[in-house]
Amino acid sequence: MAQCNVSVQQADFDFAAELARLGTSGAVASFIGCVRGDTRDGVPLTAMTLEHYPGMTERVLGELAQAVSARFALDAVTVVHRVGRLLPGAQIVLVIATAPHRHAAIQAVDCLMDHLKSVAPFWKCEEYGEQRHWVDARDSDQAALARWDAL
């Protein structure tokens, strides 16, 4: 069984420290997502707030990590997702997968990110100056998820 590390936290994460926790493997693939500096009607993004249901979110992320680990025969997987109010440029998500071979690790990271964007129970509210805007599900995210079929 693969080592699965899942964390939902307000604090920033340290990529090197998370990588060191995984040990050695033939291949390591990773993704770090940051808050984009988008604009809406010419107004720059001020911040993004992520909300979640504590307990449920960790359970869902753990189930996703386990399913992807089994599907791609991973040695280990780490998912760190931040919540709370984040400023443009802030790290928001980290996914690391280790496997005997690169294709499995790369595909696992891609698969996990598609599921995090579409299945994980997070709600995002973007701030543009004084205006607030809840982010709706995107058709492109659902199309990306469909590539993997159901886990």
Ordered by where they begin, the domains of the chain are 3-144 (3.90.1170.40)
pLDDT, tens digit (0-9, with 9 covering 90-100), for 36-72: 988 888 889 999 999 999 999 999 999 999 999 999 9
Q: What is the pLDDT of residue 113?
A: 96
pTM over 0.75: yes
Closest C-alpha to 84, from 33, 34, 11: 11
Q: Residues 96, 29: contact at Cβ < 8 Å?
A: yes
Query: Token pair of 67, please?
Result: 């399913």
CB 94 within 8 A of CB 131: no
Q: What is the pLDDT of residue 151?
A: 64
**Distance of alpha carbon 21 from alpha carbon 75, whole angstroms:** 12
Which one is predicted more confidently, 51 or 135?
51
In single-letter form, the type of residue at position 143 comes to A
